[in-house]
Structure 1
Amino acid sequence: MIRNQLLWKNSPQQYGLLSKLLHWLSALTVIVLFASGYWMVDLDYSSQWYQLVPHWHESVGILLLGFTLFRLVWRRFAGSPSDIETHTAIEKKASTSMIFILYVTLFTVLVSGFLITSANEKAIAVFDWFNVTPIVLTIKNQEDISGLVHYYVAYAMITFALLHALAALKHHFIDKDNTLKRMTKT
């Protein structure tokens, strides 16, 4: 029984199963959303995908927002593994800063996307499972401003995520420490 609890919850040495699932599912979802967003802006009205892809993109984005809020609560509850002793002070600070930046950019992209969709003042149907009430701000051109934020911050977030992945690979292949293994090893 104790062993099962340790597998689900983070330990001082590595992330637990739930943290790993949340991390990798978030990463995959962000990549899919970025790719679908990149693709759908070039769809024209005659395309069979013109209505469907934005609906999926919005629905998955709303689900990811709720999922990310849960992930933050779980992170607070489960804690994080201890820093690896071989990491320098700069690496530790960079890691903490990168995680913060990734969460800020993720929330910014998700909220700005929600504000784009909300601008038409219609409820957002999430896969026709439930509706989310739109938020219309008193900002003139809410859709355009939110769209610019969404676009540029999405590219920034993908860039930071790539740097995050490269740092993990550097730790694995060059430093040969357990940084990457803590998020992949079962």
Structure 2
Amino acid sequence: MPAKNTASRYGWVSLSLHWLMALAVIGMFALGIWMRQLSYYDPWYRDGPSIHKGIGILLFILLLARIGWRSINIRPSDDPALKAWERITAHLTHYALYALMLALMVAGYLISTADGRPIDVFGLFNVPATLHGLPDQEDIAGEIHEILAWVLILLAGVHALAALKHHFINRDSTLIKMLGRDANNPKP
């Protein structure tokens, strides 16, 4: 499989970024829900958020890499059977997913740095607190972060259901390409 995309398939870089980020977003959502159940005396009360922050920063770096890769790489052609509204909806959904992830990560950054301390990323490096001390920064950013997380996970679910619909009902090449196969030759 080529590293770069072709007109009929995604390359391994795009596929790796897509599926790694999909798993990370689902995992981060589950971790975020779980963290809200922790009490102050729970041993994971401090470790859970630390892991969440570190993965969040790494996910931000992956998002920037994904956007950069997408900007210098061709995108496989849409399946010819797609209707115009399906094409437009699919493209708008992708842009919305990117925008939601970016906004969610910025809100997470604002929560994590509200007290002026940098974010430690697993002892590898620190991300400085460049904007902090705003009135109610942690609370407001926290509410925005939670709302965006729910919207992102719901939109990602719709995205996944649409891919399954195209595969099992329409029987087109939409999902085939995201599984690393060539749309012109979908057999493994």
TM-score (norm 1): 0.94
* 1:71 lines up with 2:53 in the alignment: no
Equivalent residues of 2:15, 2:180 under 8 A apart: no
Partner of residue 185, structure 2: none
* 1:181 lines up with 2:172 in the alignment: no
Q: Provide the C-alpha distance between the structure 2 equivalents of 1:94 and 1:118, rounded to a whole number of angstroms.
A: 36
Instruction: State the Cα distance separating 1:140 from its structure 2 match.
Output: 1.5
Instruction: State the Cα distance separating 1:137 from its structure 2 match.
Output: 4.6
* Secondary structure at the counterpart of residue 50 of structure 1: helix
Partner of residue 153, structure 2: 158
Aligned residues: 181
Partner of residue 8, structure 1: 3
Q: Provide the C-alpha distance between the structure 2 equivalents of 1:12 and 1:79, rounded to a whole number of angstroms.
A: 7
Q: CA RMSD in A?
A: 1.1
Q: Provide the C-alpha distance between the structure 1 equivalents of 2:180 and 2:54, rounded to a whole number of angstroms.
A: 31
* 1:144 lines up with 2:139 in the alignment: yes
Instruction: State the Cα distance separating 1:46 from its structure 2 match.
Output: 1.2
Residue 56 of structure 1 aligns with an amino acid whose one-letter code is I
The 5-angstrom pairing of residues 28-107 of structure 1 reads 28-107=23-102
Runs (5+) with no aligned partner, structure 2: 182-188
Question: Alpha-carbon deviations, 1:109-136, whole Å to 9, x = none?
Answer: 1110010001010011100111110132
Q: Provide the C-alpha distance between the structure 1 equivalents of 2:134 and 2:82, rounded to a whole number of angstroms.
A: 45
Higher relative contact order, chain-length normalized (CA < 8 Å, sep 6+): 2
Q: Provide the C-alpha distance between the structure 2 equivalents of 1:137 and 1:56, rounded to a whole number of angstroms.
A: 21
Equivalent residues of 2:11, 2:180 under 8 A apart: no
Question: Alpha-carbon deviations, 1:70-90, whole Å to 9, x = none?
Answer: 110001111210111000000
* Secondary structure at the counterpart of residue 44 of structure 2: coil
Q: Percent identity?
A: 41
Question: Alpha-carbon deviations, 1:158-178, whole Å to 9, x = none?
Answer: 000000000000000000011
* Secondary structure at the counterpart of residue 80 of structure 2: coil
Question: Alpha-carbon deviations, 1:1-20, whole Å to 9, x = none?
Answer: xxx6xx11000001111100
Question: Alpha-carbon deviations, 1:8-67, whole Å to 9, x = none?
Answer: 100000111110000000000000100000000110111111111100000000010011
Runs (5+) with no aligned partner, structure 1: none
Dislocated runs of 4+, deviation >3 Å: none
TM-score (norm 2): 0.93
Cα 1:179–1:58 change in 2 (3 A) is same
Q: Provide the C-alpha distance between the structure 2 equivalents of 1:179 and 1:103, rounded to a whole number of angstroms.
A: 19
Q: Provide the C-alpha distance between the structure 2 equivalents of 1:105 and 1:124, rounded to a whole number of angstroms.
A: 21
